[in-house]
Amino acid sequence: MTSTRLLFVTGRLAETPLRAVLADYARVSGLNYDVAVLPISVAALMQCDWVARKLTVPAGITQVVLPGWCGGDVGGLEAQWQVPFVKGPKDLFDIPEFLGRGERTPPALNDYSIEILAEINHAARCSERELFSQAEHFRNSGADVIDLGCIPGETWEGIGTATRRLREAGFRVSVDSFNRREVEAAVENGAELVLSAHPGNRDWAAGIPAEWVVIPADPQRPETLDETADWLQAAGRQVRWDPILEPVGYGFAASLERYYAVRRRRPDVPLLMGVGNLTELSEVDSAGVNFLLAALCEELRIGSVLTTEVINWCRSAVQEFDHARRLARYALTRQTLPKHLDGRLLLLRDPKLHELGAAGLEELARRVTDPNFRIFAERGELHIFNRDGYWHGPDPYEVFDRLLAEVGTLTPQHAFYLGMELMKARTALTLGKQYTQDEALRWGFLTVEESSALERRRHESRPP
């Protein structure tokens, strides 16, 4: 860092926390820096053309870091000062990570080895529109193959047509059925894989030209898995072995051991795991379960999984497994911990929290001289202040009532805004998430970005 000198631009209210963050980072990194405090309270309200009129860049500065919310193009600033300008993170507490980004480039996570079969449950009951809608959703979520789940005891007469139309639309298709008529019709129209073959149907299965998933007649009798696989392979059929993953309470640990046992005995056979037997049948959030199963599949070289999204807590299971298989692959192939690599599976909590602390909040509250409210959520309480006062507590209703009693009447728009932000802050406190005013809470890959009040004001102020 000694060959460079950075200039960090900020406003009056952010000066103290910015200097604290930079001082801490400089102690461990040797960062050489200056801070320019421009005549504005809220740094996020800066615009590049305004900065051009107010900023002075000292000699020796090699790069200028603007607040992340700063609006406009930095090109004019660079031309004026002949120094590179860059917009930093929107949260000043992320500056250390921002500065070290060159050394810790987030991995692309493009590589994976596990194929995802996503089952459309009770596909026979779906209209063509529903069938294509689910198939498209699964494909967009990362599924490689669309599995048509048939209904035991019924015969789906339209399965051939459905398979053909899905294939014509570019989908790869498998069929999950023990009904010979359904299987034959699906394979004749392009289904490439059939779930499943066992001793009870292997005779007619051997005559159908498709790849087969082989299961044991009884999970406690793994020798039947070998027998059926050998039978089909003798008839020229490709097979994938599925020793059957059992739900918790029904032999879960023993079923994991069966996968290990098959892999030890037959190191080269393709394996499949029905991960839905655990995600769908365990009343827990499915993202963590999917990651553990993806890691297990990666280590045992289980090349394909069958999953679905029937129950509500599994409504994003396919996308979860898609992220999980990439993260597990990266960790295994590079012998690195799956940590600080990618936050897309951090849905409930955030990887880290930033706090100003009691002293920092009190100082910031003292320095505010305008009517705009600042909201923070930390140490179990909501904190809100402007020039008229500082209110804090764990209950958003109680905090709002005290604020209203002291400030007086609010416009409906202002009251609505405060209600929205306070409830976001309350949610963040409840779950241990980072709350940043005017920004969406982070929910991993499920995050829905929102337009902040700041962005809305900028948009409304633009001429038509």
pLDDT of residue 454: 62
Q: Mean pLDDT lowest for which of 120-124, 319-323, 362-366, 403-407?
A: 362-366
pLDDT for 105 equals: 63
- Which tens digits make up the pLDDT trace of 417-432? 999 999 999 999 999 9
Question: Which of 140-149, 224-233, 358-367, 415-424 has the weakest average pLDDT?
Answer: 358-367
| pLDDT score of 11 more than 50 | yes
pLDDT at 369: 87
- C-alpha distance across the termini of the chain, in Å: 46
Q: Which has more pLDDT, 367 or 307?
A: 307
Strand partners, 6: 33, 63
Residue 273 exposed, middle or buried by CB count within 10 Å (0-12, 13-18, 19+): buried
One-letter amino acid identity for 436?
Answer: T
With beta carbons less than 8 A apart as the criterion, state whether 12 and 37 touch.
Answer: yes
Per-position b or e across 95-131, b if 16+ CB within 10 A of its CB: bbeebeeeeeeeeebeebbbbbbbbbbebbebeeeeb
Instruction: Summarize the confidence of residues 243-266 as an average pLDDT.
Output: 95
Note the pLDDT of residue 275.
98
> pTM, whole model, 2 decimals?
0.84
The residue type of 454 is: L
- pLDDT(2) > 50: no
How confident is residue 302, by pLDDT bands cut at 50, 70 and 90?
very high
When pLDDT is cut at 50, 70 and 90, the band that residue 74 belongs to is very high
Which carries the bigger pLDDT value, residue 104 or residue 261? 261
- pLDDT class for 223, splitting at 50, 70, 90? confident
Question: What gap in Å lies between CA 98 and CA 104, rounded to an integer?
Answer: 10
Cβ atoms 108, 37 nearer than 8 A: no
**Alpha-carbon span 398 to 409, nearest angstrom:** 16
Q: Which domains are present in the chain?
A: 6-99 (3.40.50), 115-334 (3.20.20.20), 357-461 (no CATH)
- Please tell me the least confidently modeled range out of 9-13, 119-123, 228-232, 298-302: 9-13
Which tokens is 211 given? Answer: 């790849």
**Confidence tier at 102 by pLDDT (50, 70, 90):** very low
pLDDT band at 190 (very low <50, low <70, confident <90, very high): very high
pLDDT tens digits for range 436-464: 998 899 999 999 988 766 666 655 555 44
Encoding tokens for residue 251? 């032999």
Side chain identity, residue 330 = Y
